[in-house]
Amino acid sequence: SAVISQKPSRDICQRGTSLTIQCQVDSQVTMMFWYRQQPGQSLTLIATANQGSEATYESGFVIDKFPISRPNLTFSTLTVSNMSPEDSSIYLCSAAGGANYGYTFGSGTRLTVV
Amino acid sequence: QQQVKQSPQSLIVQKGGIPIINCAYENTAFDYFPWYQQFPGKGPALLIAIRPDVSEKKEGRFTISFNKSAKQFSLHIMDSQPGDSATYFCAASSTGGYQKVTFGTGTKLQVIP
């Protein structure tokens, strides 16, 4: 399956600032997704990153807060904007499709907002 | 509304035991049912997956049982080892898996030596 590199692995940020998380896949993939996971909890889908078009957001998530880019079939970014302590969480990138079937996840970005 | 229900929330078994984790779904459009294993500080890793045209799938010590009429599926871990201690998530998606995945709530498994 595809290998995903996600960075940064962790960060501590001041409230009101923004953080951009990068997701790089080692092969071209059809679908890329961004999830949020609170420690000890399940995964919540934020949005589907569409190549060459605007991301598709799930209920409760908006583009102004979580802008997403996907310039090609191997790379995507998620920005967490105007952060508050409630945004403290683990953010995960996922990819599906490409040469090998199945979903793969990055190791996540552990974000703490102070 | 939660679409994939998972139980139990946590599970402790002795080494060599067979932990069983159960999931139920509501959306009949789901046609791909993966299980993920997650260790602390890591992203979820695909463990095994099944489609509704088969009732059972085995990969090594991991077996999925699938009951389409009941809309239920379960994960069995044979001869469990302390290294299997992790959080397990069932999931479901449609259109052959190339759509968004809906995750269960997770089961934290501890295998005692």
Q: Where are the domains of chain A?
A: 4-113
Most B CBs within 10 Å, among A5, A38, A42, A100, to test the B interface: A42
What is the length of chain A? 114
Is residue A65 classed exposed, middle or buried when 0-12, 13-18 and 19+ CB atoms within 10 A define those classes? middle
Chain A residue closest to B99 (CA)?
A31
* Domain A4-113 CATH superfamily: Immunoglobulins (2.60.40.10)
B29 contact A CB<8A: no
On the question of pLDDT at A18 being above 80, the answer is yes
Does residue B77 sit in helix, strand or coil? strand
B43 chain-A contacts, CB cut-off 8 A: 4, 6, 92, 94, 105-108
Q: What is the mean pLDDT of chain A?
A: 92
Does residue B31 sit in helix, strand or coil? strand
Q: How confident is the model at residue A98 (pLDDT cuts 50, 70, 90)?
A: low
Predicted pLDDT at B95: 63
On the question of pLDDT at A101 being above 70, the answer is no
Predicted pLDDT at B94: 80
Q: Which has the closest alpha carbon to A40: B104, B29, B105? A: B105
Q: Which has the closest alpha carbon to A51: A69, A27, A37? A: A69
pLDDT digits (tens, 9 = 90+) for A43-97: 999 999 988 888 999 999 999 999 999 999 999 999 999 999 999 999 999 998 6
Q: What CATH architecture is B4-112?
A: Sandwich (2.60)
Q: How far apart are CA A56 and CA A94, in angstroms?
A: 14
Q: How far apart are CA B84 and CA A13, in angstroms?
A: 34
B47 vs chain A: nearest CA distance in angstroms?
10
Q: How far apart are CA B49 and CA B20, in angstroms?
A: 16
Q: Average pLDDT by consecutive 10-residue portion of chain B (113 residues)?
A: 86 98 94 92 90 93 96 97 97 72 94 96
A61 contact B CB<8A: no
**What residue spans of A34-102 are helical by DSSP H?**
none
